[in-house]
Amino acid sequence: MGIIEVQKLVKHFKTITAVDGISFTVETGERFGLLGPNGAGKTTTMRMLTTLLKPTSGSAIVAGYDIKANRDGVRSSIGMVFQEPALDRQLTGRENLDFHGRMYGMKKSLRQERIKEVLDLVELFDRADDLVQTYSGGMQRRLEIARGLMHSPKVLFLDEPTLGLDTQTRRRIWDYIVKLKETRNTTLVLTTHYMDEADHLCDRVGIIDQGKIVALDTPQKLKNLIGADVVTLETNCNECEIFHRLDFVKDMVRHGNKISLMVENGERKIPELMTFSHDNQIEITSVELHKPSLEDVFLQFTGTTIRDREAGESDKKKHFRTRGRR
């Protein structure tokens, strides 16, 4: 049995079904990602699992506690890093952490020890005694991650941990998250709408669209579902069918002066393709390699890209947010 067991979770907001019967299991120590566009139901799912919202129907067990029957049990076992900042800006970083520790009933000596430990992890020790309002966005997010870990939760929930951060800061946050897995074996559940983030950080990814999980597996397996790499050659050949003679070429599509070859491990096949072309007097003017990404997976399962979905749903999203705030 996993540390999180979700069974047919549903959440309605008046006329909108934000989460539509989601089920999944997360194993202890796993890094689990929910990937999908804004408004897909990721945050709502997370809010239900962290007891901030009551589900309309369905059930979930988090760290052995039922999210409906034993909210305090769930609350004491989890940590949460929110999408929008949830810090007291008029307190210092250290005071925010101390506040958190006391709310979880931690003793003074333990608090001091843990504060040092988590601040070291996110490299904020030097700024610990400055007011949070003087922190940059990235520093605030790091402090929130530190705070989420303060009470050594069994499960840490991260809602869009790198939303709105610059590339460098994102990388650093990723490093901390990877470090977490290596040093503490905390179970992580994170939501994101960045493909690369899900790919980089998660052991398993659930692709969520319009309140439903449409695919769930390791990033690699999801990408394998899409199939092979595509090597596209720009060439003047007339008798391109000759490439079929190579047994590693699974399929070939011709469009204009380009041909696309479906192959496994494309980067290793390019030299062979070059040699073969040369031997057959085929002139190649350019080569392109495309490896399937989670974006392609998303496209495959939802028939749209995340960006298109977000553009199309932006009105609905606004609507959804104002409702959600109640």
Partner 1 sequence: MIKINGQAIAMLWLREMKRTWRAKSRIIGSIMMPLFFLVFLGSGFRRATLPNMPEGVDYISYLIPGSIGMMLLFSSIFGGLQVLWDKEFGFLKEIMVTPVSRLSIVLGRMAGGSTVALAQSLLILFLSALFGFKIQSANGFFTAFLFMILIAFTFIGLGLAFASKMKDMHGFQLVINFVVFPLFFLSGALYPVKGLPSILKPLVYMDPLTYGIDGLRFGLLGVSTYSPVLDFAILTGICVIVVTVGSILFETSDVGQ
Query: Interface with partner 1 includes 78 (CB under 8 A)?
Result: yes
Strands 204-209 and 4-13: unpaired
Q: Specify the DSSP class assigned to residue 320.
A: H
Of positions 10, 63, 91, 246, contacts partner 1 by CB under 8 A: 91
Of positions 27, 57, 69, 102, contacts partner 1 by CB under 8 A: 102
CA distance 142 to 225: 35
CB of 120 vs partner 1, minimal distance in Å: 22
Total of chain residues touching partner 1, rule CB under 8 A: 36
CA distance 71 to 59: 12
Of positions 14, 245, 255, 325, contacts partner 1 by CB under 8 A: 325
Query: Interface with partner 1 includes 32 (CB under 8 A)?
Result: no
Strands 16-26 and 31-35: unpaired
Candidate segments 89-97, 245-253, 265-273, 303-311, binder of partner 1 by CB under 8 A: 89-97
- 306-324 and 294-302 helices, crossing angle to 10°: 70
Residues 6+ apart with CB under 8 A from 171: none
Query: Interface with partner 1 includes 208 (CB under 8 A)?
Result: no
Residue 84 or 126: which CB sits closer to partner 1?
84
Residue 91 or 240: which CB sits closer to partner 1?
91
Tokens 């760290």 -> residue: 63
CA distance 9 to 270: 47
Query: Interface with partner 1 includes 244 (CB under 8 A)?
Result: no
CA distance 28 to 26: 7
Of positions 27, 57, 69, 88, contacts partner 1 by CB under 8 A: 88
Interface residue list for partner 1 (CB under 8 A): 43, 47, 50-54, 72-73, 75-76, 78, 80, 82, 84-91, 95, 99-100, 102-105, 131, 147, 321, 323-326
